[in-house]
Every structure is written in structure tokens, then in C-alpha cells.
Amino acid sequence: MEIKTLSSAKCFGGEVAFHQFESRACKTPMRFSTFMPPQATGGKVPAILFLSGLTCTDENFMVKSGAQQHAARLGLALIVPDTSPRDARVPGDDASWDLGLGAGFYVDATESPWSAHYRMATFVSQELPDLIGARFPVDATRTGIMGHSMGGHGAIVTALRNPDRFKSCSAFAPISAPTRCPWGQKAFRAYLGPQVEAWRAWDSCELLLDENLRSASTGSAASRKIPILVDQGASDKWMDQLRPDLLADAAARSAWPLTLRTQPGYDHSYYFIATFIADHLAHHAKALAP
């Protein structure tokens, strides 16, 4: 499979690069960005996938988060996929900012016309990690996942559904219960259809609370309880969409190891992410240590 590198730049002794390849999962060209730390020149390193939020591309995290200096110190590769297909246009994909372009929600759509290309769950959980493991100096057995907002939802759900692939998980201001907030309900109705029962397998809280649902999603009888780190800004204007209280309740009821930190004065922006990104990368580095 050919990977086209669109641009690259030296950064903290490593390299940031932006790529594109023809995705079999999404049946269209898909973009992603990478940071390879300086340690990657001497052997394979652990990797963290970062899933971005609504309206973002594969560039936002690389440009705004300040993560590279910490990843270089810790010897972590960073992989950032785009948030939706772009080239394969779907009718209505640009009608609103919270559905379609930049809003794939990290699910595999089952409803027409979205199902033809919006296979973001398969893209981020299987196709892209397999490609990275085969073509980059990355240890595929030591992979973590993190994200922000819509991507925080995606990171937690993807980790819970793929416990054999992802060994660490964290999130910034995740959409914790998409079946119970307007953003999630709008996206799930479009991508997954009107049957609410079908939505539960893509909801972090539902997966935490229902071991049978989790087992059905993972294809295994049990899943390792990966500790999850979540930071939430106390001044986040989207709190009614994010519902960290529901995530905390689900984790407590399921005895899932969750560290939920509410940060006074912080909002939903990348200033918030940049402030606490070092803590999150340290969380992953510890879990992914040999």
C-alpha cells in the first residue's frame, strides 16, 4: 500500500510528517499525521493514536497541542488520523458542522449513504494501526489511544472495544454518553439508524456498565480493565454535551479504574489540552513501558 508523504519537518530531534493513502476501510484517500521521536532511529517505539474532535483535521493536534517535546523525551510516536473522509463526498455532508465532514464520530456507519465511506471505527482501530506497525518504526504491541471531545468518546470506546490492541487510554473532555446528548444522538441516528439499541455499543458509559455488551463488541468473554485518565475543564461551555458525571457514575458502578480530574478555570480549547498533555503522555508511557 503506497503512502504519500505530503510534507515533513524536523521537530525536537524527531520528525513531524503529514501523509495520505488509499483507505480500504473508507474506500477513499485518507490523511493522517505522525511524529516519530528521535528514539525511532534506533529501533521500534511505542505509539499513541490521538483522535481529534468535531471540525478538526489531522493537523490540529500536531500544530496546537505542544505534544512533540514531551513525546520526544518519552520516546513515544504520535499518530493522528483525520476525523472523517474528505474526498468521497456524501450528500449533506457539509450541511452542518456536527455531522459529516469533520464529524465521523469514530463509528462504522450502517445507514445509507454514510455506510459507503464512513467506516471510521475500522479505520482507527484496525487499518491505520496495522499500516503504522508495518511501515513505521513502531512497536504494534505497545499502542495507546487518546482523544479530545468527539475524539475522547472515540478513544474510550475504541479502547473498550479493542482491549487486545490498545494498552492505555486517556481523554480530554470526552463526549461521555453520546446516546444521551444532542451531538451523539444526531450523529448516531444518521450513521447507525433509528434503533437506539444499536447505539449502545458505541457509548462509553453503556460499554462500562454492561459486560455482555462489552464482550459482544470485543469478541471475547472478558476485557482487561485498562485504567482511563480523563481531564475536564470546569469552565467548558459544552458540559451538557459531555456529561463527565455520567462517565464517573458508570466507572464507579462497574469498578472500572477511572481518574477524572476537573480542572478549575479551563475550557474546551487546545490551551487546555496543551496545559495537561504532558500528564497524559506520561500516563501512556508508564502503561506502555516494556
Q: How far apart are CA 207 and CA 222, in angstroms?
A: 12
280-289 average pLDDT score = 98
| Alpha helices (H) in the chain, listed in sequence order | 60-64, 68-74, 120-122, 128-135, 150-161, 182-192, 204-209, 211-218, 239-242, 244-254, 270-287
Structural domain boundaries enclosing 223: 3-287
| The C-alpha cell that represents 74 in the structure block | 518519552
As a whole number of angstroms, the distance between CA 182 and CA 99 comes to: 11
User: How confident is the model over 136-169, as pLDDT tens digits?
Assistant: 999 999 999 999 999 999 999 999 999 999 999 9
CA distance 55 to 68: 22
Residue 186 reports pLDDT greater than 90: yes
pLDDT attached to residue 223: 63
All three cell numbers of 201, joined, read 455499543
The CATH number of whichever domain residue 35 belongs to comes to 3.40.50.1820
Given a contact cutoff of 8 angstroms between Cβ atoms, the answer to whether 165 and 142 are in contact is: no
pLDDT digits (tens, 9 = 90+) for 261-279: 999 999 999 999 999 999 9
Task: Reply yes or no on whether the pLDDT at 251 is more than 70.
Answer: yes
User: According to the model, what pLDDT value does residue 222 have?
Assistant: 56
Give per-residue pLDDT as tens, 52-94. Answer: 999 999 999 999 999 999 999 999 999 999 999 999 999 999 9
Catalytic residue list: 149, 236, 268
Number of domains in the chain: 1
* Rounded mean pLDDT, 246-258: 97
pLDDT (0 to 100) of residue 201: 96
Q: What is the pLDDT of residues 103-114, one digit of tens each?
A: 999 999 999 999
Backbone angle region of 143, left / alpha / beta, with phi > 0 → left and psi within -120 to 50 → alpha = beta
92 φ/ψ angles, rounded to the nearest 5 degrees: 85, 5
β-sheet with 45-51: strand ranges across:
3-11, 14-23, 28-36, 77-81, 45-51, 138-148, 168-172, 228-233, 258-263
